[in-house]
């Protein structure tokens, strides 16, 4: 069945629910007003700042690793850990087991310990280590980069820019003990005679009455991924990535997507999935709220009673993960606002001055994925998630009648097929690059044929930031041992 094209008058629905009021974090914005705000006008004072901002995050250049180097193989493409200059000796020592393990797997000139200097943009970091941006030379700055520290130490912008050419992950914990637990957990998983997970992918997708955001994420993202066709078409289960890769698929959609269901999956009370994908609202709190650090990015469940209500019983937060959870070997993907982290300022400011409101006193990584990775019983391998708000444009481009699940499908398929998690995210990096290039062409006075109409300009601007903000928490070189997964009982 053909779906109608979006109307020019359709409002923009921004994902995310306010943890205090139970309302949208940002009310729906009418398109005409939003487009007027997004379009650079004449010699507006912010036009040059916007152009420079885009150029600071360049398009992905046609460079690659050296000829003959397989980027999907860390033992060829190399691996480095990047500490910020003020990292404590305790934190450095806590990751020694992981560094030693990586050294045992590859040539000595392919494993590096690098230093990030405060305030350093990505291009200067690369130049200081002997490589220009775009050249991936494994013996200088390897393809796989593990940043260590919070975004207040190594900014999210640096991670975003490096990820255009490298497979980048991050670790950010409060204590050296948490770093040690993660390092030991990865080494144990990669060296173990067997793995604890079953050959299953689990899906969790609430759908709230009258909520356009979760209607979109359920009907046009999760259902196509789990059933091989959109919600209004007959299922084609043989076309799903689970079927093609020989995984069992267990889903909790709409009324089944309760807090208890997700906690059961995370605690491994029945089976232990190798992959978990969730699509939901993330919870957001004001910058001065004491709950922001602990609960921002928590996953809103079907238990939520609707707009105007909010309680901890409605969402899954870090505090809900008990010490008996069985998370070891899991790779999770959270499609949710603030699901991976929060920057200091709004990166989607629909205001005439394009000045984003303050979101937090300092940028930080969400507590729930940190808890999963540093769990005392053995942590998850990695969590993919979103910094800032997650938009529906990731699912349904503004000018398209049909949804596009391509980037999600490719990323999940690559993870399930055993590719390194950091490399599996390349499709989102390519989306970021393409949108960035279109915006730069729009701003170039020498390219008059590349001007974007107001609606497309707004779409590309949001799409660019949205695609950029998918990041990996964890070592980007980790991968599921897909040939060793247990069959279901």
CA distance 301 to 236: 27
The answer to whether 354 and 46 have CB atoms below 8 angstroms apart is yes
**402 within a domain of the structure (yes/no):** yes
Strand partners, 65: 136
Whether 45 and 79 map to the same domain: the answer is: no
Whether 102 and 238 map to the same domain: the answer is: no
Whether 423 and 303 map to the same domain: the answer is: yes
The answer to whether 454 and 40 have CB atoms below 8 angstroms apart is no
Instruction: State which of 141, 165, 188 marks the end of a domain.
Output: 188
Whether 134 and 118 map to the same domain: the answer is: yes
Instruction: State which of 168, 188, 208 marks the end of a domain.
Output: 188
Q: What angle do CA 84, 186, 332 make, to 5 degrees?
A: 90
Can you list the residues of the chain whose pLDDT is less than 50?
1-6, 8, 42-47, 49-50, 53, 59-63, 352-354
**433 within a domain of the structure (yes/no):** yes
251-304 confidence digits (pLDDT tens): 999 999 999 999 999 998 889 999 999 999 999 999 999 999 999 999 999 999
CATH number at residue 118: 3.40.50
**128 within a domain of the structure (yes/no):** yes
Phi, psi of 168 (to 5 degrees): -120, 135
Return the percentage of the chain with pLDDT > 90, whole number. 67
Range(s) of the domain holding residue 149:
74-188
**11 within a domain of the structure (yes/no):** no
pLDDT at 451: 75
161-204 confidence digits (pLDDT tens): 999 899 999 999 999 999 999 999 999 999 999 999 999 999 99
Whether 254 and 184 map to the same domain: the answer is: no
Whether 220 and 240 map to the same domain: the answer is: yes
CA distance 71 to 167: 9
Instruction: State which of 170, 188, 206 marks the end of a domain.
Output: 188
The answer to whether 240 and 228 have CB atoms below 8 angstroms apart is yes
**3 within a domain of the structure (yes/no):** no
CA distance 450 to 430: 20
Domains identified in the chain, total number: 2
**232 within a domain of the structure (yes/no):** yes
- What pTM, to 2 d.p., does this model score? 0.90
Whether 115 and 200 map to the same domain: the answer is: no
pLDDT at 354: 47
Whether 313 and 416 map to the same domain: the answer is: yes
Whether 327 and 455 map to the same domain: the answer is: yes
CA distance 479 to 489: 24
Whether 30 and 128 map to the same domain: the answer is: no
**64 within a domain of the structure (yes/no):** no
Whether 143 and 220 map to the same domain: the answer is: no
**69 within a domain of the structure (yes/no):** no
Whether 221 and 177 map to the same domain: the answer is: no
């Amino acid at each position: 069945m053909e779906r109608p094209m979006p109307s020019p008058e359709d409002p923009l629905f921004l994902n995310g629910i306010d943890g205090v009021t139970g309302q949208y974090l940002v009310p729906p914005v009418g398109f005409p007003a939003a487009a007027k705000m997004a379009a650079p006008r004449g010699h507006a004072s912010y036009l040059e700042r916007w152009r420079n901002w885009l150029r600071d995050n360049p398009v992905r250049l046609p460079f690659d690793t050296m000829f003959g180097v397989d980027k999907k193989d860390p033992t060829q493409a190399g691996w480095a850990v990047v500490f910020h200059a003020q990292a404590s000796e305790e934190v450095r020592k806590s990751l020694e087991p992981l560094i030693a393990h990586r050294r045992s797997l590859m040539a000595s000139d392919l494993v590096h310990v690098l230093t990030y200097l405060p305030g350093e943009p990505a291009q200067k970091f690369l130049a200081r280590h002997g490589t220009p941006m775009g050249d991936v030379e494994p013996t200088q700055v390897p393809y796989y980069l593990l940043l260590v520290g919070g975004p207040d130490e190594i900014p999210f912008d640096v991670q975003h820019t490096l990820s255009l050419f490298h497979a980048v992950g991050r670790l950010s914990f409060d204590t050296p003990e948490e770093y040690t637990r993660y390092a030991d957990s990865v080494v144990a998983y990669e060296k173990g005679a067997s793995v604890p997970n079953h050959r299953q992918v689990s899906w969790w997708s609430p759908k709230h009455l009258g909520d356009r955001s979760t209607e979109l994420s359920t009907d046009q993202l999760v259902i196509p991924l789990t059933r091989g066709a959109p919600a209004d078409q007959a299922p084609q289960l043989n076309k799903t990535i689970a079927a093609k890769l020989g995984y069992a698929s267990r889903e909790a959609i709409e009324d089944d997507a309760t807090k208890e269901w997700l906690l059961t999956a995370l605690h491994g009370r029945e089976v232990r999935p190798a992959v978990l994908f969730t699509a939901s609202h993330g919870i957001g709190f004001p910058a001065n709220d004491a709950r922001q650090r602990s609960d921002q990015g928590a996953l809103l469940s079907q238990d939520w009673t609707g707009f105007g209500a909010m309680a901890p019983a409605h969402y899954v937060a870090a505090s809900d993960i008990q010490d008996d959870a069985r998370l070891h070997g899991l790779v999770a993907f959270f499609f949710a606002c603030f699901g991976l982290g929060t920057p200091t300022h709004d990166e989607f400011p629909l205001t005439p001055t394009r000045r984003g409101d303050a979101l937090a006193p300092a940028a930080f990584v969400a507590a729930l994925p940190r808890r999963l990775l540093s769990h005392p019983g053995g942590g998850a391998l990695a969590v993919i998630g979103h910094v800032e708000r997650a938009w529906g444009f990731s699912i349904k481009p503004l000018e398209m009648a049909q949804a596009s699940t391509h980037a999600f499908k490719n990323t999940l398929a690559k993870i399930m097929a055993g590719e390194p998690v950091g490399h599996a995210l390349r499709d989102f990096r390519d989306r970021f690059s393409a949108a960035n290039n279109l915006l730069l062409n729009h701003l170039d006075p020498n390219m008059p044929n590349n001007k974007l109409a107001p609606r497309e300009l707004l779409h590309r601007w949001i799409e660019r930031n949205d695609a950029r903000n998918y990041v990996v928490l964890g070592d980007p070189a980790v991968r599921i041992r897909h040939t060793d997964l247990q069959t279901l009982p």
